[in-house]
Structure 1
């Protein structure tokens, strides 16, 4: 029991983590249930059903790209604890509304109206998440001191998400098909309320309960927001470490987006697996991510955050290249699990670097730049990979040095090379010296 408390770093972070763990499992149950519900009931038998399901993903992406940059300014102005509490209540209310709507028989409303309501709910849920995530990120920085402990906190967060990705989806299908969609929604509703209770019990430092952004009271609201937003962009652009981290992340996303998009085709084509076996492929990555997240703090403590970042990228890229050459299912599953370990570890390493180089009053805006830009890079990568596999490289094939290349494995090899390039770039671009956090007065100068 004592070792478990030590794993959770301190009492206040443990309470914050507990709320996140419950909420994340509920999110995975809800997301999977909603996708299955749309595909198997709302648009059942429609030729355009795949497009209807993809609309859910587009609603998520739209929330990140449209709301994320706007949210950063307000996260820096408002109490982080209040933001997390209010957004959990908003998300609980949205899920409750969808739950009540789902009690209406499907045939009583037009399909277009059902889809419109679902897309709107998904957009609002993820828009609220654009306020919650940077507020929670800033809260971790305030509750957890020290590079190694912050890396451990980031690793625990990722391990929780990885565990939820393994536990949540298998719970969703039985709930939907045995007791109905309403019970899966009720699980998510209760998870948000539990997260609210856990977050409310956290005792934050006084600085977390007041605004850290000083604005001109004589300016209009739009002008004040614009000034704060541009101030955040100037701070970001003037910080070598932040620019290098973002560039490394974008280059990496150009590789990982293709991997996630085409992995099902690689499994069924190159690995000769059945569609039912693809679940083991996804699960292997989740298991590896949990392991990598848990060792991330130890890696940072031993290697330092900078070295753990560029080394993790290079190792990940090499493993992706090795994965792209596989034709044996079991070997590929093991390799993909190994790919996830350095990926999760380097994500844990990036967190203390971000917190160390960013003044508290700019954290919301920094995260609001990182998340949308990374989401855009991921979407572009996924789109380009899908286009190449279906048109540009659809009939590609050949042998080089005794190895056979086809469309998907060629794209995966290129993805691994992109990730290696990101690691090499991070090696040269990340500052070797400590980046001091500017004081509020210096940050505004």
Structure 2
């Protein structure tokens, strides 16, 4: 009887988390992601209200964290993919986890000795920025390796669910981490957040040790015998010549343009258009996060049945419609509902695009393709954030028109343009990916694989 119950529990566990290897990988990454969000929020609050409190340059000091996190993505990210494709993925991730834990331990040591040895504020801030830079440099190798490892340990039919579960854990961490970090920082000090993040990397390392992948035994014979920039060029050429990947890149780029606009101007939309105090701004973020949790669950269940390409373009179009509706709102409560619903296709877009990328990319190019995607998407966010701020504060500062009895101001006009761009990109994806079946993608990938071997 006990044996039967044990077997039933094991089967259920495997069904929920796909298989043993993915369950281990997902568990470690879920804890590590939560640690990252707690850590990032803690650093912002620590610098803003403890280290640099009362200084006129405090906002610049806080911005330094985001710059230190962004530079590795733009400068190192595109090049990291070549090494990811050369190296064994699981081993790379294990080494990265050790390095990340060591970097956090260094920062924890500095915090611990600050009360004993006087360290200047400039030194403390510099070390924080350095650690953030190093952690995000590691992430440029860890992220593509994770996606490649998922491709190795999860069957094609289960990959949407695998990506959905990852999106689910990330969405939960997005909600929980920023809420827990400030009160715990003020109650117990910064050391607890550093220790928690360091231990999260230890947990991730431990889980990865138990993962078994056939990828471990593959020999990278070709890659190590060719020049670095030759391998980089092969990945770039493949990205630009694959219809699926070009479409995914265009959709992701435009989606992040919209995301950057919302990130930069939403606080002004809340106070000016929704007539809501800034203290309630975080509630809207929580609404998006809650919607993303539901979207990740639904997409992981239904994306494969609906079709990944259909899920992709429908999600983008739904995002566009959501932003267009949001731009016309003038009160707070409806905005909560609209942003909650908008979070659903936001998560579904990620759930669909990950498996589509894996299916359209030969296994030995996954690292390079993924590493090229991330910087381009990051640049889209930076450009749109800066452009939106400039448009709102300079070009459209006194903009106000009425069209068909509908009033348009600076921020809602910019949001409307973002929504229309998303709608157009959804239509583009729908037309461009029509009839693009999974088998066709596999055949194209195999042909390009032969092309790469000839080129090398």
TM-score normalized by structure 1? Answer: 0.95
User: Following superposition of structure 1 onto structure 2, how do residues 342-353 of structure 1 map, counting pairs within 5 Å?
Assistant: 342-353=345-356
How far residue 3 of structure 1 moved from its aligned partner, in angstroms, is: 4.7
3-state DSSP class of the match of 1:399? strand
How far residue 401 of structure 1 moved from its aligned partner, in angstroms, is: 1.8
Equivalent pair of 1:42/1:111 in contact (CA under 8 Å): yes
2:65 is equivalent to residue 65 of structure 1: no
Counterpart for residue 428 of structure 1: 431
How far residue 387 of structure 1 moved from its aligned partner, in angstroms, is: 1.1
Equivalent pair of 2:291/2:342 in contact (CA under 8 Å): yes
Equivalent pair of 1:62/1:123 in contact (CA under 8 Å): yes
How far residue 336 of structure 1 moved from its aligned partner, in angstroms, is: 0.5
1:277 & 1:125 partners in 2: Cα distance? 32
1:397 & 1:3 partners in 2: Cα distance? 58
How far residue 335 of structure 1 moved from its aligned partner, in angstroms, is: 0.3
Equivalent pair of 2:86/2:224 in contact (CA under 8 Å): no
Of 122, 147, 165, the match for 1:156: 165
Counterpart for residue 76 of structure 1: 85
Counterpart for residue 278 of structure 2: 275
Distance 1:294 1:253, change over 3 A: same
Counterpart for residue 297 of structure 1: 300
Counterpart for residue 267 of structure 2: 264
2:254 & 2:343 partners in 1: Cα distance? 17
Distance 1:68 1:431, change over 3 A: farther
User: Following superposition of structure 1 onto structure 2, how do residues 113-262 of structure 1 map, counting pairs within 5 Å?
Assistant: 113-147=123-157, 149-205=158-214, 207-212=215-220, 214-215=222-223, 217=225, 224-262=227-265
How far residue 121 of structure 1 moved from its aligned partner, in angstroms, is: 0.6
Count, aligned residues: 438
Counterpart for residue 112 of structure 1: 122
2:281 & 2:262 partners in 1: Cα distance? 14
1:53 & 1:292 partners in 2: Cα distance? 32
Deviates more, 1:264-273 or 1:425-434: 425-434
How far residue 209 of structure 1 moved from its aligned partner, in angstroms, is: 4.2
1:306 & 1:176 partners in 2: Cα distance? 44
1:181 & 1:154 partners in 2: Cα distance? 32
3-state DSSP class of the match of 1:404? strand
Equivalent pair of 1:15/1:202 in contact (CA under 8 Å): yes
Counterpart for residue 406 of structure 1: 409
C-alpha RMSD over aligned residues:
1.7
Of 283, 286, 290, the match for 1:287: 290
How far residue 4 of structure 1 moved from its aligned partner, in angstroms, is: 5.2
Distance 1:216 1:284, change over 3 A: closer
2:54 & 2:218 partners in 1: Cα distance? 53
How far residue 432 of structure 1 moved from its aligned partner, in angstroms, is: 2.1
Distance 1:370 1:431, change over 3 A: farther
1:209 & 1:366 partners in 2: Cα distance? 22
Segments of 4+ moved more than 3 angstroms: 1-5, 104-107, 208-213, 439-443
3-state DSSP class of the match of 2:446? coil
How far residue 357 of structure 1 moved from its aligned partner, in angstroms, is: 0.9
Q: Give CA deviations for 1:341-364 in whole Å, capped at 9, x if unaligned.
A: 011112111111111111110000
Distance 1:211 1:324, change over 3 A: farther
Q: Give CA deviations for 1:41-91 in whole Å, capped at 9, x if unaligned.
A: 221111111111111111111010111111100100001001111111111
2:319 is equivalent to residue 316 of structure 1: yes
Distance 1:175 1:430, change over 3 A: same
How far residue 431 of structure 1 moved from its aligned partner, in angstroms, is: 5.4
How far residue 395 of structure 1 moved from its aligned partner, in angstroms, is: 1.6
Distance 1:112 1:209, change over 3 A: farther
Of 384, 396, 409, the match for 2:387: 384
2:52 & 2:423 partners in 1: Cα distance? 42
1:441 & 1:377 partners in 2: Cα distance? 33
